[in-house]
Amino acid sequence: MSTVMLKLIRGFHINLGSAAITKVFEGEPDHLIPSASDQLLNRDMFTVAGRMIGHSFLHGGPSFPGLSPAIIHVLFGGSMETTPLTIEDCPDLDLRDTVKMLDGEAESRDVESIRQLCLSWNLPAPNDNNRRWLCENLLLHAVIMRTMRQINQFRRGLKETGVWPVLIHRRDVIPILFPRESEAQVTAQMILDCIIWPTSTTILFDSFQETDDDDSAVTDVTRVSGYLKTFIENASPAELKSLVKFWIGWEVPAVEMKVEIVEASLPTALTCFEKLRLPRHYAAYKAFHTDLCACISSSYSGFGCI
């Protein structure tokens, strides 16, 4: 599920003639809208996107962050008149510049380009009396009207997973399915609150050889556990997501995430048991940091591929 959602956010390896990576949703964070591509529409990619998000939600997987509030509003039956549009919702920078020319009282420098755009979308030519109205309608057309068929496909995909009745009757679930980008970030405290740290009992008899010195074993566990805590507290949001995915299989922290200190060469994980295994041999944080970064970076290419 984590890999599926990552593809949906970052794009698919579908070359439609303009780029090696094709994005189903485009725009800036918290203002993503469906791509206006007819090729993606004809391939039912927005139906696929709805299925992906619905199934991830039903199985407790990652949500889809950053979708524009305007798209969410229309997706769930909101009226055009009350759509919360902003200029950031328009991913086409040329269209943004054109809309901005009509926003305010300043004289438009390129009247002809505005007129041509208005005519192509069956809107009247600009004049002194309709500038504000025209600005709002151009933005509505650029964000909503051009993507209405994509939104309908997207809705159909969500319905096919069976999650739609929950979303309609429990509107408080919608922000969980489509959180803001900032709300979807994994924080250090979120992870630390979930960790089950190793105890001296499990250390001495389960992880290490019985011939080990008790004091030495406890010292190793305390030191390496401290290294992990330091790493989590200083890691970037992207590194934290990679760590959690390496640890349990996807980026959503589990209720209990276990740590075990063992005899090993490199950090490993038992994702099914939500357990991170760290070697006891680290005597310096730098070496621990280097090895852990190398291991967690492998989570997006396959288990064990460092």
Residue 103 shares a structural domain with residue 139: yes
Residue 136 shares a structural domain with residue 252: no
pLDDT digits 0-9 by tens, 289-304: 999 999 998 765 555 4
pLDDT digits 0-9 by tens, 70-106: 999 999 999 988 999 999 999 988 888 888 877 764 4
For residue 182, tell me if it sits in a domain: no
For residue 291, tell me if it sits in a domain: yes
For residue 306, tell me if it sits in a domain: no
For residue 305, tell me if it sits in a domain: no
Residue 218 shares a structural domain with residue 94: no
C-alpha dist (Å) from residue 129 to 61, 124, 138, 264:
51, 11, 15, 75
pLDDT digits 0-9 by tens, 147-206: 999 999 999 999 999 999 999 999 999 999 998 877 777 889 989 999 999 975 555 444
The number of folded domains in the chain is: 3
Over the Cα atoms of the chain, what is R_g? 25
The C-alpha angle 10, 27, 147, rounded to 5 degrees, equals 105
pLDDT at 205: 44
**Which range marks the domain in which residue 242 is found?**
188-300
For residue 183, tell me if it sits in a domain: no
In this prediction, residues 272-283 reach a mean pLDDT of 92
Considering only residues 228 and 12, tell me which one the structure prediction assigns the higher pLDDT: 228
Residue 95 shares a structural domain with residue 17: no
CA dist 125 and 134 (Å) reads 9
Residue 26 shares a structural domain with residue 157: yes
CA dist 78 and 3 (Å) reads 31
Phi and psi of 218, rounded to 5°? -65, -40
Residue 168 shares a structural domain with residue 47: yes
Residue 69 shares a structural domain with residue 205: no
Global model pTM greater than 0.85: no
Residue 121 shares a structural domain with residue 259: no
